């Protein structure tokens, strides 16, 4: 497991999953090219892109040699939570409109969104390794584990070391998310199809979170336990995603119709308490706590933070998250996450003097990663975005978005242009 998890020396976080918000209405609108084309309304959930931008900046800072100061590991929990919240919100919307969740289309959309940047990034990493500019190894089993979303368990139990390029070990977090989403759409289809209320489904997911917490406590007290077991494995980290699902199902701020108004003193008190709890969870160093209750406490504390960030997006603490440049960075965050540690490890190998200075390494890494993400967005995304449109809920293959031409996506553009409807070190 040495090589695939070697990134833990600098900090590995969960990959920021691309936000693919689609809310196809049942209303038809006439268009010159497709008279019966279904209108697809793409709402923006406030603050989420900004949260992703902030989180990926934390991850890059942690990887850039600042792991003793930057809680990069906390980025894992943030990204997982956000993913669960967003996917659950979309599933609820789809189920309300269509009476079901089209699971095959859900999987197809994820493949077309996640795989192209991943394949390009892996091609670059393996090419740099072949050229001697990046340490690590090249093996068929290592590549297969990464492509089949098995990188976390491969690294924990099967990797003899030096079987993948350095910088690609961060793909463990993509594996955690995909393992969760193999089961979750099927579970949601079954439970919502049984006429259970979303809050009841949320309560059941809360029981899952308790079960995962109990499982971590069991593992920690099992002979032969090692800390990476609870940090990287899907069976010990899926609750970080499930907490976001619970918020979406029980008290979803993006689905509330009433105007939010201003934050009350009670709201501010809850917000400050949540921040204090998160800080304490990072500062308390007890090993058993860190591998067990820490993830649960952080998941619970993130609920009010996400709620307020979405519900009160115009309030000063959250206004920054909705700036256009933050939204753009959030759109780029998946590609930034994929490439940034490869860039850092390449600096380690070829320019060690730069790699030893975080104040130089961070801006250079961020610049290269942002340029890479922008190229992906301009040259790769348009084609696969059109393919994803064909698999949107209720799509007949000719759906368009209000105010857009076919083939564009509101979620992939800056906030001002959209329709608003309502890995890291173990030191952290």
Q: Which sign, positive or negative, has the C-alpha torsion 64, 70, 74, 75? A: negative
Whether residue 23 contacts residue 93, with contact meaning beta carbons closer than 8 Å, is answered with: yes
In a domain, 258, yes or no: yes
Q: What does the pLDDT read at residue 257? A: 83
What is the model's pTM? 0.84
User: Is 146:115 a contact under the CB 8 Å cutoff?
Assistant: no
What's residue 260's pLDDT? 87
3-state helix vs strand vs coil in the chain, percent to 5: 65, 5, 30
The pLDDT assigned to 16 comes to: 64
Contact 113, 20 (CB under 8 A): yes
> Domain range for residue 149?
38-419
Residue 28 falls inside a structural domain = no
The pLDDT of residue 9 is 36
Residue 356 covered by a domain? yes
116 in any annotated domain: yes
State the pLDDT at residue 270. Answer: 98
At 12 the three-state DSSP class reads strand
Mean pLDDT split into 10-residue runs, the chain, 428 residues? 41 51 35 31 78 94 88 87 97 94 95 96 98 97 97 95 94 97 96 95 98 99 96 98 98 90 95 97 95 98 98 95 96 96 97 95 98 96 86 56 31 32 34
- Does any domain span residue 426? no
Residue 355 lies in a domain: yes
What total of structural domains would you count in the chain?
1
Give the separation between CA 414 and CA 80, rounded to whole angstroms: 23
In a domain, 204, yes or no: yes
């Amino acid at each position: 497991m040495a090589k695939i998890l070697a990134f833990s020396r600098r900090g590995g976080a969960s990959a920021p999953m691309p936000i693919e918000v689609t809310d196809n209405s049942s209303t038809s609108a006439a268009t010159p090219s497709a008279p019966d084309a279904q209108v697809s309304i793409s709402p923006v959930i406030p603050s989420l892109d900004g949260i992703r931008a902030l989180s990926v900046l934390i991850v890059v800072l942690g990887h850039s040699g600042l792991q003793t100061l930057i809680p990069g590991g906390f980025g894992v929990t943030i990204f997982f939570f956000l993913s669960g919240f967003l996917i659950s919100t979309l599933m609820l919307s789809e189920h309300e409109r269509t009476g079901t969740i089209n699971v095959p289309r859900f999987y197809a959309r994820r493949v077309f969104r996640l795989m192209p940047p991943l394949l390009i990034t892996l091609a670059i990493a393996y090419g740099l390794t072949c050229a001697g500019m990046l340490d690590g190894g090249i093996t068929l089993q290592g590549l297969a584990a990464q492509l089949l979303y098995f990188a976390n368990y491969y690294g924990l139990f099967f990797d003899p070391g030096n079987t993948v390029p350095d910088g690609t070990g961060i793909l463990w977090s993509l594996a955690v998310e995909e393992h969760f989403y193999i089961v979750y759409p099927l579970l949601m289809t079954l439970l919502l199809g049984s006429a259970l209320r979303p809050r009841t489904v949320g309560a059941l997911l809360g029981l899952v979170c308790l079960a995962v917490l109990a499982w971590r406590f069991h593992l920690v007290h099992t002979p032969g336990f090692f800390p990476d077991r609870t940090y990287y494995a899907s069976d010990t980290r899926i609750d970080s995603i499930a907490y976001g699902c619970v918020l979406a199902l029980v008290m979803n701020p993006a689905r509330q119709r009433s105007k939010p108004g201003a934050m009350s003193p009670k709201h501010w008190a809850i917000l400050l308490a949540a921040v204090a709890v998160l800080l304490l969870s990072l500062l308390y160093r007890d090993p058993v706590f860190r591998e067990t209750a820490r993830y649960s406490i952080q998941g619970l504390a993130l609920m009010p933070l996400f709620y307020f960030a979405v519900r009160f997006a115009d309030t000063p603490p959250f206004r920054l998250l909705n700036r256009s440049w933050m939204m753009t960075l959030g759109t780029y965050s998946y590609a930034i996450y994929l490439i940034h540690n490869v860039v850092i490890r390449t600096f380690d190998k070829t320019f060690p003097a730069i790699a030893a200075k975080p104040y130089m390494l961070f801006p250079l890494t961020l610049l290269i990663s942002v340029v890479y993400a922008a190229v992906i967005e301009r040259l790769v995304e348009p084609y696969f975005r059109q393919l994803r449109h064909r698999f949107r809920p209720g799509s007949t293959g000719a759906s368009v978005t209000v105010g857009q031409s076919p083939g564009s996506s509101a979620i992939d553009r800056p906030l001002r242009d959209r329709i608003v409807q309502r890995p890291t070190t173990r030191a952290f």
